[in-house]
Every structure is written in structure tokens, then in C-alpha cells.
Amino acid sequence: MQISEILKPEAVRSFNQIVSKKRLFQELADLAASVYGLNSAEVLDALQERESLGATGVGHGVAVPHARLHALNKVVGLFIRLDRPMDFDAVDRQPVDLVFALLAPQSTGVDHLKALALVSRTLRDPDLRGKLRANDSPVALHAVLAAAHGIKAA
């Protein structure tokens, strides 16, 4: 599995006016609706429900919110780069500016876990995070993520 298999170019955005987790999740839900044809309200509810179990801020300014949905038949991704880092209750208490959301089918386990591992390992790379922070063009952001093919999930 590679990032380019789960993240469409049109599922990448850069924002400068998001200041709350609720607003971020709404943007992710709206993006999922427009790119993947999902129900925005269902995506929002699923993301918020998962986040209520524990924050998905994994450190170094990165968050990986994720949820399972009945409406999907494969894992899909969404990426948002924030111009202004926001509080996300991350494990290292650092604000988040790189958000890679994963949405997976309700019934699949292995693909969801592989995608989570892939995204986590990819965004652990400080050089890659630097490239993402240096760009605000969705095309450039997708290219940086898609080029991270050397880091693969098992």
C-alpha cells in the first residue's frame, strides 16, 4: 500500500482559518463528501466519535484522525495543512498543523491498520514534514505525500 493509493489529489487542502477541532472535522467531512461522495454528517459523527475515545494527535505537529464508515468499500484519505497550528491534545502537547485523516470500511481491519501504519511512518519523517510545511499548494502537497513511496506498510 502506498499513499497515492488512498489519497486522491483533490482530497488535499491548505487552510488558514481553522481554529478548532470541531471546525477541522467539519472541513474533513465536507471534503470527504465532495471527493468521495460520502455523507458529510456521517463522516463528521464518525470522526468525532472516534476522537472522543482519545485524541489522534500523534506528535511533531501531526494528527491522524480516523473513523470507520459503512458507506465505504476501501480505505480513503484526506490531508489538510493548516497555516496556523492548533491545539489538538496531541501526545507531545504540541499544536497540530498537518492532518491526515483516514476513513475505512466498517468491516475491514487489516487494510485500515496498514493505512494507519503507512501514514504514521510516513509523517514521522522530519524531512517530509518540512516539505509539507514549506508548501501550501494542494498539488505540491499531494506530490510530496505521493512521492513518499519508499516508506511502505507491511
Positions annotated as catalytic residues are: 66
Could you tell me the three cell numbers for 124? 514521522
| Rounded-to-integer distance, Cα 45 and Cα 27, Å | 13
CA 47 to chain centre: 11
Query: Within a 13 Å sphere around the CA of 60, how many CA atoms are in the beta-carbon half?
Result: 14
| Rounded-to-integer distance, Cα 139 and Cα 141, Å | 5
Residue type, 14: S
| Rounded-to-integer distance, Cα 71 and Cα 35, Å | 14
Secondary structure element (H or E) that encloses residue 139, with its range: helix 138-146
Give the total residue count for the chain: 154
